[in-house]
């Protein structure tokens, strides 16, 4: 296997799991890490055996001979850092959300396209084992044509404890969690033709919305409802960060419930089976299903970088998810449905 060298930007909460995921996949080596607070970069470099650390991103790019750049910084920095990579003809992987705005996301895709380098998005939610299994069942045709679905990520988990910066995001749950859930909706049901969205702010000490409901119509005619909440209202059945899905088809139904149980009901009866995620000793148990999905996502992105496969979550593909997020905010502001091209 080709061993690709990469540089990593960012030393926040997610970086340790990103680096652990790359080690699990194999075939890469992080040779340098940047963070604006140099002490954080130095600490992670020592912990993960990374040879060099920087507090200047340009300095890293000028001094290091790397095969790709992995960006795990705040969303407000993504456009600048992607442009830096593109200007050096350097393939780049960017954390989601891709950009603070649709226009900036489009510009990032264009910059990399013009430079002739891949822009890949580390969108790992769709790589969760139970969600991949739901997709497999849909593709099998066992429940017929899906006509209605609900995707829920409703949690009382104190998300601001590990990521306090989320309190200050003027666009919060749709931009953060919605980027995942709306991408999962596209992964399962294809592109959407229109949507309607309502939002609320339950926490009084945050800048953005922490509850959202998005009703969409897929190009195939299915009604898809995404329900998102970090209301922190002490949910009795909370199992953060599990996604619950219920799909009605012309010949049956699929239900992904808590504890990774999938129930498939058809005229032949109901079959129930659990699809728990793989467990890694480096994963935070509170984020287990999410952290484990980093591994197959990164393996897929690596296959695109080393020429052995194709990436699912390219910049061009994820731009369609960014458009859904932007349309959701537009609908919430206007109170009107938004038609998508």
Residue 296 resides in a domain: no
- What is the rounded average pLDDT of the residues 169-197? 96
Confirm if 331 and 197 have CB atoms less than 8 A apart. Answer: yes
pLDDT at 231: 85
pLDDT of residue 266 exceeding 50, the answer is: yes
Are 84 and 166 within one domain? no
Are 237 and 147 within one domain? yes
Neighbours of 168 (CB within 10 A): 10
Residue finishing a domain among 94, 122, 150: 122
Alpha-carbon distance of 226 to 152, in angstroms, equals 6
Residue 198 resides in a domain: yes
Are 203 and 55 within one domain? no
Are 78 and 182 within one domain? no
pLDDT band at 2 (very low <50, low <70, confident <90, very high): low
pLDDT, tens only, 290-341: 999 999 999 999 999 999 999 999 999 999 999 999 999 999 999 999 999 7
- What is the rounded average pLDDT of the residues 242-264? 97
pLDDT of residue 229 exceeding 70, the answer is: yes
> Is the bond preceding residue 241 a cis peptide, omega within 30 degrees?
yes
pLDDT of residue 1 exceeding 70, the answer is: no
pLDDT at 204: 92
Backbone angles phi, psi at 183, to 5 degrees: -65, -40
pLDDT of residue 236 exceeding 70, the answer is: no
Are 65 and 108 within one domain? yes
Query: What does pLDDT average to over the chain?
Result: 95
- What is the rounded average pLDDT of the residues 51-55? 98
pLDDT at 160: 87
pLDDT of residue 238 exceeding 90, the answer is: no
pLDDT band at 22 (very low <50, low <70, confident <90, very high): very high
- Domain coverage including residue 102: 4-122
Angle in degrees, CA 94, 100, 106, rounded to 5: 70
- Helix (H, G, I), strand (E, B), or coil: what is residue 204? coil
pLDDT of residue 131 exceeding 50, the answer is: yes
């Amino acid at each position: 296997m080709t061993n690709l060298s990469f540089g990593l930007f960012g030393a926040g909460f997610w970086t340790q799991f990103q680096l652990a995921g790359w080690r699990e996949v194999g075939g890469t080596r992080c040779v340098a890490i940047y963070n604006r607070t140099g002490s954080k970069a130095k600490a992670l470099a020592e912990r993960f055996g990374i040879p060099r650390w920087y507090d200047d991103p340009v300095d890293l790019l000028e001094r290091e001979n790397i095969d790709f750049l992995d960006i795990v910084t705040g969303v407000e920095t993504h456009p600048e850092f992607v442009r830096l990579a593109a200007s050096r003809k350097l393939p780049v992987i960017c954390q989601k959300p891709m950009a603070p705005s649709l226009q900036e996301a489009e510009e990032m895709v264009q910059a990399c396209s013009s430079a002739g380098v891949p822009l890949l998005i580390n969108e790992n939610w769709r790589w969760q084992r139970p969600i991949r299994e739901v997709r497999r069942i849909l593709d099998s045709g066992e429940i017929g044509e899906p006509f209605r679905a609900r995707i829920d990520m409703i949690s009382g988990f104190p998300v601001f404890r590990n990521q306090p910066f989320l309190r200050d995001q003027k666009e919060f749950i749709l931009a953060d969690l919605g980027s995942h859930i709306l991408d999962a909706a596209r992964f399962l049901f294809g592109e959407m033709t229109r949507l309607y969205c309502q939002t609320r702010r339950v926490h009084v000490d945050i800048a953005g919305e922490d509850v959202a409901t998005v009703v969409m119509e897929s190009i195939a005619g299915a009604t898809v409802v995404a329900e998102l909440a970090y209301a922190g209202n002490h949910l009795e059945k909370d199992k953060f960060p599990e996604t619950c899905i219920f799909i009605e088809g012309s010949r049956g139904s699929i239900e992904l419930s808590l504890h990774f149980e999938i129930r498939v009901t058809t005229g032949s009866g109901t079959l129930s089976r659990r699809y728990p995620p793989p467990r890694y000793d480096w994963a935070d148990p509170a984020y287990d299903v999410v952290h484990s999905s980093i591994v197959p996502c990164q393996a897929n992105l690596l296959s695109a970088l080393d020429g052995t496969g194709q990436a699912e979550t390219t910049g061009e593909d994820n731009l369609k998810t960014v458009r859904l997020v932007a349309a959701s905010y537009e609908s919430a502001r206007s109170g009107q449905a938004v038609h998508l091209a």
